[in-house]
Copies of this chain bind each other. A is one copy, B any other.
Amino acid sequence: MNSRRNFIKKTTIAGAGISLLPGFTFGMNQSVDKLKIGMIGVGLRGTNHLNNLLLRDDVLITAICDIDPKRISLTLDALDKAGLKKPEVFGNNDFDYRNLLNLKAVDAVVISTPWLWHTRMAKDAMLAGKYTGLEVSAANTMEECWDLVNTHEQTGTHLMLLENVNYRRDIMAVLNMVKQNVFGETVHFRCGYQHDLRHVKFNDGKTAYGKGVEFGDKGISESKWRTQHSLLRNADVYPTHGIGPIAAMCNINRGNRFMSLTSNASKAVGLHDYIVKNAVENHPNAKLKFKQGDVITSTIETTNGETIIVTHDCNLPRPYSLGFRVQGTNGLWEDDGNRIYIEGKSDPHQWDTADDWLKKYDHPLWEKYGELASESGHGGMDFFVIHAFIESAKLNIAPPMDAYDAAAWSAITPLSELSIENNGEPQDFPDFTRGNWINRKSYNWIKDSY
């Protein structure tokens, strides 16, 4: 272990070495056949990842951890039914995951826990030398963003942010179009998380997405922890589904970076309105003042002169949309309306439906794995994000979305909070690469096999 650590430290100091070193064999075991995975958190999200892992023949689930015995029991049943060896089980207390991290029989971990545990678990995992897969969002505070980067640099252990939307079929086709210069020089982007989560933030304490207006101790599943963020933080607390795909398209941390951000929040009335509409009269939750503005709009400027609008819109009734727009000197794609206009190709001033364009530029990965992926969650995205994680971990090379990306994308949360609190005052992004973004090479999203 020491020699690897030392080697990696040296290349870190030398520059972008780690990220590009191919075929570096994994961890202590020079002859890994199957990658041994520890699952930290096997709630709804972790189980989804588990199901995708079970489809593969190159991994073993050697350990699981959850503080909820019901989730452990469900997971053991599933593994047993799949005819797999019983994994080691952890979850006796909040920090039992550290015992999982001490296992030699774990090469890599997948962390799918409540947000406040993400960074501390990922940090511990990297310190333990485990290739780390971390669910979104990665960090809650600026200090946590730095923790991810600094721990990666200190240990040489890789972190992959498991942002599935980067693998959405239309997103990858549009990324392909960007790389092939179909839009010309990129100028402006839009994205966000526009998802009515009222039925997720509240339930009746019995079913995850049922009726009811309870949360926290009286709620179950996500309402147990997620709603508290809406109650106390006026910030874009969930930026990565939107910003991840856009960051890939404009090479953030790889020749470009986020420079500054302004954020503005609308009033916060949606969650109160939901409680009043769905609760018995005089329910105590109807008296709560939620801090999170219903629609939070952040505008980011990049060093390359693009602007990116990021929206967080989760407390009002609305159909789901991530609201992407990709715009350049030749034309633009808009997710809403499913439309594309490319000058000289489209009829003047008329939208094309995006379908033919997306088909023409379908990503090689989707062409190859699309059918297999369709069995997976979230329209196939979940297959690809796990695939990329496993393939990167097997080679122990830098993943497509690394610690620097996790930090830069998640930094939107604390920066938006500060900006909103200060009337939209612009906030500077830290340069998590410590200047290296000018040298770091673009991840090859198109030609790499994951």
Chain A residues with a Cβ under 8 A of chain B: 184-185, 187-188, 196, 260, 262, 264-267, 269-270, 273, 293-295, 297, 299, 301, 304-307, 309, 313, 316-320, 327-332, 334, 336-337, 341-343, 349-351, 423-426
A341→B328 contact, CB < 8 A: no
Q: Rank and list the top 10 A-B pairs by shortest CB-CB distance, nearest first.
A: A267-B305, A317-B343, A188-B295, A424-B426, A262-B424, A337-B337, A262-B262, A266-B307, A273-B329, A264-B299
Give the complex CA separation of A330 and B273 in angstroms: 9
Extra 6 A-B pairs, beta carbons < 8 Å, given A264-B301, A267-B304, A424-B424: A187-B266, A260-B423, A262-B262, A264-B299, A313-B327, A318-B327
For the complex formed by this chain, how many copies does it contain in all?
2
A347, closest chain B residue (CB): B319
- A341-B319 contact, Cβ under 8 Å, with A304-B267, A426-B423: yes
Q: How far is the CA of A424 from the CA of B309 in the complex (A)?
A: 13
Q: Report chain B residues within 8 Å CB of A309.
A: 297, 309
- A334 contacts B336, CB within 8 Å? yes
Q: Are B343 and A267 in contact (CB under 8 A)?
A: no
A-B pairs with beta carbons under 8 Å apart, 24 shown: A187-B266, A187-B267, A187-B316, A188-B295, A260-B424, A262-B262, A262-B426, A264-B307, A266-B305, A267-B306, A270-B329, A295-B327, A297-B309, A299-B424, A316-B328, A316-B329, A317-B331, A317-B342, A317-B343, A318-B327, A318-B341, A319-B341, A337-B337, A425-B425
Tell me the minimal C-beta distance from A256 to chain B in angstroms. Answer: 12
Instruction: Provide the bound-state CA to CA distance between A196 and B425, in Å.
Output: 31
- Residues in chain B near residue A299, CB distance under 8 A: 262, 264, 297, 299, 424
Secondary structure class of chain A's binding surface, majority of residues: loop
Query: In chain B, what residue has the closest Cβ to A297?
Result: B299
Q: Provide the residues of chain B in CB contact with A425, threshold 8 Å.
A: 425-426
Question: Which residues of B have CB within 8 Å of A329?
Answer: 269-270, 273, 316-317
Chain B residue numbers with a CB within 8 Å of A196 are: 349
A337 to B335, CA, bound (A): 10
Give the residue name and chain of the B residue nearest to A330 (CB): B317
| Cβ–Cβ contact B317 & A307, under 8 A | no
Chain B proximity of A409: nearest CB distance (Å): 19
Given the complex, which residues of B lie within 8 Å of A297, measured CB to CB?
299, 307, 309
Is there contact, CB below 8 Å, between B313 and A188? yes
For A267, the chain B residues whose CB sits under 8 A away are 187, 304-306
Q: State how many angstroms separate the Cβ of A301 from the closest Cβ of chain B.
A: 6
Task: Report how far A436 CA is from B328 CA in the complex, Å.
Answer: 44
Expressed in whole angstroms, the Cα–Cα distance for A318 and B426 within the complex equals: 29
Q: Is the CB of B307 within 8 A of A331?
A: no
Which B residues are in CB contact (< 8 Å) with A341? Answer: 317-319
B273 touching A185, Cβ below 8 Å: yes
A349 and B264 contacting across the interface, CB-CB below 8 Å = no
Closest to A259 in B: B423
Q: Is the CB of B350 within 8 A of A332?
A: no
Task: List residues of chain B with CB within 8 A of the CB of A316.
Answer: 187, 327-329, 331-332
Min CB gap A403→B, angstroms: 28
Given A264-B262, A341-B317, A187–B294 Cβ distance below 8 Å? Answer: yes
Once A328-B316, A334-B336, A426-B425 are accepted as A-B contacts, the answer to whether A266 and B188 lie under 8 Å apart by CB is yes
State whether B306 touches A266 (Cβ < 8 A).
yes
Q: How far is the CA of A299 from the CA of B185 in the complex (A)?
A: 25
> What separation, in Å, do the CA atoms of A317 and B333 have in the docked complex?
12
Q: Are B185 and A269 neighbours in the complex by a CB distance under 8 Å?
A: yes
- Nearest to A317 among chain B residues (CB) is B343
With the chains together, A319 CA to B264 CA distance in Å? 28
Contacts of A318 in B (CB 8 A): 327, 331-332, 341
Residue of chain B at shortest CB distance from A304: B267
Q: Which residue of B lies closest to A328 (CB)?
A: B316
Bound CA–CA A354/B190 (angstroms): 23
* Shortest CB distance A300–B (Å): 8
How far in angstroms is the closest Cβ of chain B from A396? 38
Residues B270 and A187 in contact, CB atoms below 8 Å apart: yes
